[in-house]
Amino acid sequence: MTPLNILPSFGKINPSDASVSKSHVTVLDKDGYNKKSLHKIRNIFAYSFQTHKLNPYIVSDTRGSGTLYNTKKSRYFLMELHPNADLCLTKKNSFNVYTNDIDMLNDHQRIFNSTSKKVNLNYLIGTYLAFIFSINRQFSPDTVKKYFKRLRQLLIDKLVAIKNRLSYSAKNRQTKTYIRFSSGTHVIYLGFYFRCSDTCTQPAAFVLPNNQWQCNKHFTPVPGLRSKTTQRKGKDYKTVNFNPWKEVHSTRLGLKYNVIVKRYNEWKGKNNS
């Protein structure tokens, strides 16, 4: 019998000859032959979040949607998007998060990686929420886990509503730029940052048609966007019939009668008819 050590290999590879390269992983099957590589390492694209604090005492009008600026109730954490970005958010790879939380001592930054050059919106919003709840720990981990998917979907719906509102050319209606999340006594505002103007860094609490938005301090209604309303003609009370009557039919009692409502006249005595 021929010894095993002098038999030809017929292209087989010993397990010790398996090599790992940077581009792929080589795996051997049970017979010792090479299999196809399991996966290839793709290009990694880096994205980042960074917080920036804003002065919370500039806007004093906290009515309606202005509750966003009320620091006595809660804090906001708003993510800035590129104004010309589509819903796939292909214009940016770094995102600023603006907050009025003056109790936060330092700014925070987080870098995350993605194998996609065009970051997925669902993944981006989820990473944004994870970043916010990692620096704002007033909510318990169980609460965050319970409402995480719901908050992510609400923010996606909010972004779609904002894009639709900005693209409209009629109707002077508003769409808020944020959502409110509360658990017990803890409240936080999550949403998207739209800078008021070049001279004002305060966020807009709502957006208007025709790509219009301003903070509550500098907001002025645009007359051209007001919807046209038809003016009602005033009633001529001299010609109004003050003695109308209507027929009343009672099925339960089997009765039918007329009801007349008369205008009140000052009573002048028994002879007054």
- CA 82 to chain centroid: 15
Higher per-residue pLDDT: 68 or 250: 68
- Which pLDDT tens digit goes with each residue over 158-170? 999 998 888 887 7
Strands (E) located in 35-150? 45-53, 75-80, 94-99, 109-114
Question: Can you tell me which residue has the tokens 């790992």?
Answer: 20
Question: What is the per-residue pLDDT for 2?
Answer: 46
- Of the listed ranges 32-46, 130-144, 172-186, the one predicted with least confidence: 32-46
- Exposure string over 111-141, b if 16+ CB within 10 A, otherwise e: ebebeeeebebeebbbbbbebbbebbeebee
Model pLDDT for residues 138-153, shown as the tens digit of each residue = 899 999 999 999 999 9
Cα distances from 143 to residues 58, 114, 132, in angstroms, run 32, 27, 14
**Rounded mean pLDDT of the chain?**
77
Beta-bridge mates of residue 49: 95, 110
- pLDDT given at position 224: 53
- Range ranked top by mean pLDDT from 43-47, 128-132, 210-214: 128-132
- pLDDT value at residue 187: 92
Task: Return the closest-CA partner of residue 179 out of 200, 198, 202, 160.
Answer: 160
Per-residue confidence (pLDDT) for residue 4, from 0 to 100: 45
Cβ-Cβ contacts under 8 Å for 130 (sequence gap 6 or more): none
The reported pLDDT for the residue numbered 235 is: 58
Mean pLDDT value across residues 206-233: 72
pLDDT of residue 19: 42
Reported as a single tens digit per residue, the pLDDT across 234-250 is 656 556 565 677 888 88
pTM of the model: 0.64
